[in-house]
Structure 1
Amino acid sequence: MALAPRFAGQKLASNSIQPKAVHTLELYLDYVCPFSAKLFKTVYSSHLRDTLLKKYGDNVVTIFRQQIQPWHPSSTLVHEAGYAVLTVSPDKFYAFSEKLFEQQKDFFDVNVVNETRNATYKRLAKIAGEVGVDEGKVYDLLKIADKPGEDGSLNSGNGVTDKVKVQVKANRLVGVHVTPTVVFDGVVNNDISSSWTKEQWEEWLEKNVV
């Protein structure tokens, strides 16, 4: 879990090292949540990203936590695509996320209900290809076999299932439910809204990052 800088003394370190901690800003987002898309666009697609990296880069670590919302069945599929991109080309994760958020309506319930799971994966892999990720490798990680495995298994998942399990377990430990949720230094901050402007974010950062 994140450690606020004011508690840096709690870190175990050698006597020759001054314990240090930086602020952690965690954004729990769902790819098929309109409000998550709004927050992501403000943070990543505006100059706020430059502010976080250049002005606060030594004091703040920003993390996109993938939050699957199971009442939308496609939520699992789109997040699996995110994990596939992280596996194949981790440096393209944010670019892929930006593209996927822009096209999120294509993966809303009504737009996936009549296609097979692997067909949805193919569309997601294509988006990965649009940002320079190997489309074939992404699809290979996502596709579900239509025949039993060598051990006779019928429900073994795909190439990113284990990664999904780890993230879901971690998110449950934090107790996140709604998206987006912002966690600052390990504590949920309900003041931050998806409707915040870049200027409101900068004002908040100025007050809270010391």
Structure 2
Amino acid sequence: MALPPKFSGQLLATAANTSTQHTIEIYLDYVCPFSAKIFKTIYTGVAPIIAKHYSSNPGVRVIFRQQIQPWHPSSTLTHEAGVAVLRTAPQAFWAFSAKLFDAQKEYFDVNVVNESRNDTYKRLAKLAGTVDGIDEKTIYDLLVVSDKPGEGGSLNIGNKVTDDLKFQVKANRVTGVHVTPTVVFNGVEERSIGSSWTVEQWEEWLKKNIN
């Protein structure tokens, strides 16, 4: 699936980005422990391999697809924060995602149930602000929801990233992805890849499939 320019930050920054024939898409949820596991492996271990060995044809690019899991209400809020970062500091999206996955337990059900939505946004914005290139206030301004009716008395007013989030949800529904993490290789789900894969397993898979 194509990557809209407004979401360009979801593309992992490696030398392979300029000349690629293959695409790996990873569908991840910020409050999914298994998503955190596979993200860390890819971000810290697999990305350097791709940059070193797959920087020319046949190359490979990796795209982070944000997959909301609605049975965890905070999933939506965390992904809204991700969208806000894409909007304002796309180059920092992966670094922010690494921070958020490291802190994901702070946004599990038990740790958000007694705070307001805007208070959760405040914590997410503060976390984002610890990443170089991201401004905490700018992120919060995009996330905060007013308690005043909108135009025409509307009460479902959302926030400033609602439309971008809707687009991502619609795009993901087209692929039929349900569970996280899900890996899609060149448009087809790659079911052999799991969250417990080691860097060595990823390296072997890349050798067999990127040619």
Corresponding position of 2:75: 75
SS at match of 1:130: coil
* Structure 1 unaligned residues grouped into runs of 5+: 3-19
Contact 2:60 2:210 (8 Å CA) reproduced = yes
Alignment of 1:35-184 (within 5 A): 35-46=34-45, 48-58=46-56, 59-132=59-132, 133-184=134-185
- Flag the 1:21–1:42 CA change in 2: closer, same or farther, 3 A: closer
1:31 and 2:30 aligned: yes
Once residues 21 and 195 of structure 1 are traced to their aligned partners in structure 2, the CA distance between those partners, rounded to angstroms, is 26
Corresponding position of 2:12: none
Corresponding position of 2:13: none
SS at match of 1:179: coil
CA RMSD of aligned residues (A): 1.2
Moved segments of 4+, more than 3 Å: none
Shift of residue 150 of structure 1? 3.5
Percent sequence identity over aligned pairs? 67
Please give the per-residue CA displacement for 1:20-40, whole angstroms capped at 9, x wherever unaligned.
961000000000000000000
Shift of residue 202 of structure 1? 0.2
Contact 2:149 2:157 (8 Å CA) reproduced = no
Contact 2:66 2:79 (8 Å CA) reproduced = yes
SS at match of 1:70: coil
| One-letter identity of the residue aligned with 1:164 | L
* Structure 2 unaligned residues grouped into runs of 5+: 3-18
In our comparison, the structure showing a higher alpha carbon Rg is 1
SS at match of 2:153: coil
Aligned pairs, how many? Answer: 192
TM-score, normalised via structure 1 length: 0.89
SS at match of 1:25: strand
SS at match of 2:98: helix
Contact 2:126 2:136 (8 Å CA) reproduced = yes
TM-score, normalised via structure 2 length: 0.88
SS at match of 1:151: helix
